[in-house]
Amino acid sequence: MNKPVMPVSSLSLKLPTAGGKVETYRLAASRNFPAKLDGTLNRVAFSAAHVVSNPLADVDPWLTAAVDWDKTIAFREHVWDLGLGVAEAMDTAQRGMGLDWPTSLELVQRSVAAAKARGGALVFSGAGTDHLAVEDARNIDDVIRAYEEQIAAIEKAGGRIILMASRALAKIARSPDDYAKVYGRVLSQVAEPVIIHWLGDMFDPALAGYWGTADLNMAMDTAVAIINAHAGKVDGVKISLLDKQREIDMRRRLAKSVKMYTGDDFNYAELIAGDEQGYSHALLGIFDAIAPAASYALSRLAASDTQGFHDVLGPTVPLSRHIFKAPTRFYKTGIVFMAYLNGHQDHFTMVGGQESTRSTLHLAELFRLADQAGLLANPELATRRMKAVLALRGLEA
């Protein structure tokens, strides 16, 4: 396939800049990425998918999650069309930041059913302990029971498991041995191999000191030992520390049967491409926002067109670094804003009212970077929607 065409755009709008000023921004180009996968992939790649809120529900958004199920599942169909898997009910879906366990379970059930209706599209779902209030966790047996409950519910729905990090375990555990006991007990019971997620405290401050220590070298020693001791029960591990070298180091220490899924939204292009000793697969929140580009880039990599892979995926990295900038936990706002700009939902509202977590300047820079990477699927629509958001925030564009 030829590279996507990049037409010249005559669209422009006024965008805010630092210091309270406004500039006229002229859109650069768009890239017509395929809407469906052309070819096959030689990496397993998941998009951690967002949920679409229902803005017309009669709820208090800070207290109750209201999901537009049709739009939410339609977005997953879009991801599957592109040959990517869906990592369901993860932090990108605002798990622990607006999406509670009962709603998460319904999301898993609906997503697994939709995947089966397609003939077995790839979906793994997050099992954690978030229905157990941290203050109610008395010992590690409470944590084990909480994991068991969620795993049983997901497996009953026919789902595969992503074993999420536990805030309750981070609070209760007193040593690496406590982590070994919890993960050992839980892994011994799963029906099929799972993906283990190591989520850094930049994504969730409540997970500081995970694996029993604040020393990341020692934490990695513990994690690798647990994973390799149970390699037959582990499909792979996702590491979300935004630290390229730590991921490479861990990748080289894993048992050969255990995949490394990059969770590094700053350095994913080079980690997926790999080196002479190996490569990472992908399980990324940014693949929600850039799914068409990611799919096309991965298809070029599978065709041994490494330069084509980097030509497509490389320009997306500045956008990803912006979306995931500190405070990193607010990245979901940028993910949903991209979905709004690209027509996957008709509004810019979020579960928990989280659309308010990023500034107008942040959203304006996101628009620029998305445009410069050719990621606005319909520039006219994106421009109209950017203007609508700016008008709501007091700037006539």
Instruction: Give mean pLDDT, residues 312-331.
Output: 97
Q: Tell me the pLDDT of the chain averaged across its residues.
A: 96
Banded pLDDT at 100 (limits 50, 70, 90) = very high
Chain centroid to CA 138 = 31
CATH number of 42-358: 3.20.20.70
CB atoms within 10 A of CB 302: 16
Banded pLDDT at 397 (limits 50, 70, 90) = low
**pLDDT at position 39:** 81
**Residue 362 in this model has a pLDDT that exceeds 50:** yes
**pLDDT at position 288:** 99
For residue 394, give the DSSP letter: T
pTM: 0.95
User: Among 172-176, 370-374, 392-396, which stretch is predicted with the lowest mean pLDDT?
Assistant: 392-396
Banded pLDDT at 120 (limits 50, 70, 90) = confident
Banded pLDDT at 10 (limits 50, 70, 90) = confident
The separation between the first and the last C-alpha atoms of the chain, rounded to the nearest angstrom, is 38
Q: Which pairing describes strands 281-284 and 259-262: parallel, antiparallel, or unpaired?
A: parallel
Instruction: Give mean pLDDT, residues 359-381.
Output: 97
* Cα gap 121→86, rounded to integer Å: 9
For residue 125, give the DSSP letter: E
Banded pLDDT at 30 (limits 50, 70, 90) = confident
* Cα gap 310→396, rounded to integer Å: 37
Instruction: Give mean pLDDT, residues 113-117.
Output: 98
Alpha helix segments (H runs only) across the chain: 69-81, 101-117, 140-156, 167-172, 176-187, 216-229, 244-253, 268-273, 286-289, 291-302, 306-313, 317-323, 331-341, 360-372, 379-392
Banded pLDDT at 128 (limits 50, 70, 90) = very high
Banded pLDDT at 29 (limits 50, 70, 90) = confident
Instruction: Give mean pLDDT, residues 52-62.
Output: 96
Instruction: Give mean pLDDT, residues 270-287.
Output: 98
**Residue 9 in this model has a pLDDT that exceeds 80:** no
Q: Which residues contact 296 (CB under 8 A, 6 or more apart)?
A: 4, 33, 34, 38, 312
* Percent of the chain at pLDDT exceeding 90: 94
Instruction: Give mean pLDDT, residues 148-153.
Output: 99
**Residue 46 in this model has a pLDDT that exceeds 70:** yes
Instruction: Give mean pLDDT, residues 128-142.
Output: 96
Banded pLDDT at 3 (limits 50, 70, 90) = very low
**Closest Cα to residue 186, out of 213, 152, 160?**
152
DSSP 171-219: HH--SHHHHHHHHHHHHTT-SS-EEEEEE-TTT-GGGTTGGG-S-HHHH
User: Among 19-33, 51-65, 123-137, which stretch is predicted with the lowest mean pLDDT?
Assistant: 19-33
Q: What are the angstrom distances between the C-alpha of 91 and each of 165, 311, 330?
A: 10, 29, 10
User: Among 164-168, 246-250, 354-358, 393-397, which stretch is predicted with the lowest mean pLDDT?
Assistant: 393-397
